Chain A
Amino acid sequence: MIQKLKEIYQYRFLVLSLVSRDLKVKYKGSVLGFFWSLLNPLVMLAVYTVAFKYIIKVRVENFPIFFLCAFLPWSYLNASLSMSVGAIKDNGNLVKKVYFPREVLPLSVVLSNLVQFLLTFLILIPALLFFKIDLGLALLLLPLVILFQTGFNLGLSYFFSASHVFFADIKHLLEIFLQIWFWLTPIIYPVSFIPEKYLVLYKLNPAVWFVEGYRSLLLHNKGIPFQECVLLFLIGAVFFLFGHLFFNYKNKRFAEEI
């Protein structure tokens, strides 16, 4: 495992160039360039605000910020998974013809989504200031939460991209799964909406903890209790480890099965 990580580190320039290739290709030739990355969440923000604040009348303070704090990390997760699921199979011609650590493929997808996620803070921070939300020391914990979520995203990306090689339907299953997952996560409603008796079950969803973590830091300017920090770390680490091991186990037959 250590050896594998070392090797991936040795190929860091490949990761870097794949990430920058991803981003370059994405924005090349479009007039607004990377502003599309910002525009998209803004539009979603407008749509959901109108729908849930004014039509359905969800009573939540500062709905736009409440929504953004959860929606942006969710988008990071959502995009990471739906883009990385085909990472191995779609690059079949590479996998079959060139050696390089295959982890690099899902890894670079997740990292390029991380970059875009970080860019969206260019919207979030001004929005926080605009709505006069106090920002404070709690922000120092933000990099940690982002790191743990990246571990979580990465683990799942490893799992899905490796499974997809052997089982093509996983892509479609994932789409449905992500839809359901969106509604099972407190993005457009607060956790308090969940009836008490389902709460334990509800909190088995790891995304709940991440979303709540982000909200606590950004919206409420509150730290995260130590136990919850440890829990976030564990979620990130366990998912990463599991994904990594699974990927490595399946890795040996990628080139034959694609």
Chain B
Amino acid sequence: METVKITNLSKKFRRYHQKSSNIKYAVLNLFKGFGSSRHEDFYALKHINLSVQQGETVGIIGENGSGKSTLLKLIARILFPDEGTIETKGKIATLIELGAGFHDELSGRENIYVNASLLGFKKKEIDDKIDEIIEFSGLKHFIDNPIKTYSSGMYLRLGFSIAINVNPDILLIDEILAVGDENFQKKCFERIEEFKDKGKTILIVSHDLNVIERMCDRVILIDNGQQFSKQDPVEAISEYHKRLFQKRKQALRLGPDKTAVETSGEMRTLTATQFNRWGSREAEITSVKFFDDQGNETYDFRTRDHLKIRMDYHAKKLIKKPVFGIAVYTEDGVLLTGPNTRTGDCDIDVIQGQGSVEYVMESVPFLPASYLFTVSIYDHSLRHAYDHLEKCLVFNVVESRKVKDKFGTLHIPAQWRHVKKGKPEPR
């Protein structure tokens, strides 16, 4: 049975040049048409077709701003389509915002009622579920306290417990699987698996491609509002990597300077389209630069070259025990290495204001190819991201005379030795 059917769906948004929701502009614009100042339409989604059968789990991937969350919101009826139709069968629950509508003054229990009714449930249905919800959240002892006394983790746990324990036919999930501690996360995944087994339909939007690959029967890749024709998870994901890489290369080649994160202004424009960036931003990476052994800035290296990476940061307030980390990926998104200052025994006590962190490779171990580079600042537990720039930069390793290895990705410092039988070579 088809539970979600989307036919030729398009969605336009307005981009205002000058949003006139105050009286000055309204008066100025009166002659140009009331309230609707100069704006242009742009398509967030274009001609999307999708048919989801009952019991399927479908992943939606794409860059920031590609339109994937818009698609989910359209299915959830939060937004309305401009063209095309969306038909859904059965009750929809959205895990888009956890704890939406919570009120601080009310107790956890009272909030369960308000929140679940927001998801369209009746008192009786909630009465039947409430014990299970409380049990799942693990907040039994706090449930009658006002939730202003809750920690943010408890808050999210309660929200998730409500959303996951109501019994929808279609579950829409947007980037919220990173909730709570590992234990709770495991519980959440188990519950979602249970959902799958019960033959419910699930649509997931996520940047975490591992999750997508693990859980989804099909994957929709959305790029610039348009969908990729193939929906096989492996094909869609590798296509995603391919396109990401193409774009990044182009962007970097076009830029005045090869760092994607040179100035904050440029960074912002790149954030929206070129790479994913997240974090609370109490501390920010302001620039990332690569240098050779002469101290010249370059992004082309040879295997076994000396490579120095300098990350400049700006901490807006005092941050204790931050952890700086980097990661290097192949073009296909395979993680090659992901060291950080904590595992590298370079503990940083506090940071405040500006500064930089350097990472030096005495000998570049990569074989000729292009590589993606990620840089981040986390808290000491590595759970909370201050700033994370996922695959924000590309560097190249080019052919060299020193190293003639051709196959694979890595150059491993090692020696060959031929041992003749019976007559070991003298040392």
Measured CB to CB, the residues of A under 8 A from B are 10-11, 13-14, 16-18, 21, 24-25, 28-29, 91, 93-100, 166-169, 252-253, 255-256
Contacts and interface: CB of A to CB of B under 8 A. Distances in A.
B184 interface: no
B113 to A, nearest CB: 5
A100 B118 contact: yes
Given A21-B106, A28-B105, A98 B114 contact: no
Given A13-B121, A96-B78, A168-B22, A29 B114 contact: no
A249 to B, nearest CB: 11
A135 B119 CA distance: 46
A97 B117 contact: no
Contacts of A168: 21-22
A18 B113 CA distance: 10
Contacts of A99: 76-78, 92, 94
Nearest to B125: A13
Given A168-B21, A255-B79, A25 B106 contact: yes
Contacts of A97: 78, 94, 96-97, 100
28 contacts: A10-B120, A13-B117, A13-B122, A14-B117, A17-B113, A21-B106, A21-B114, A24-B106, A24-B110, A25-B105, A29-B105, A91-B101, A93-B97, A93-B100, A94-B101, A95-B78, A97-B94, A99-B77, A99-B92, A99-B94, A100-B118, A100-B119, A167-B21, A167-B35, A169-B21, A169-B23, A169-B26, A256-B79
Interface of B: 13-14, 21-23, 26, 35, 73, 76-80, 92, 94, 96-97, 100-101, 103, 105-106, 110, 113-114, 117-123
Contacts of A166: 21, 35
- Secondary structure at chain A's binding surface: helix, strand, loop or mixed? helix
Contact of B80 (A10, A96, A252): A252
Nearest to B163: A98
Contacts of B117: 11, 13-14, 16-18
A98 B119 contact: yes
A14 B114 CA distance: 7
A202 B14 CA distance: 43
Nearest to B98: A97
Nearest to A15: B117
A11 B123 CA distance: 10
Contacts of A100: 118-120
Contacts of B94: 97-99
> Closest 5 interchain pairs by CB?
A97-B97, A14-B117, A252-B80, A99-B77, A169-B23
Given A14-B117, A166-B21, A256-B13, 8 more contacts: A13-B122, A17-B113, A96-B78, A100-B118, A167-B35, A168-B22, A169-B21, A169-B22
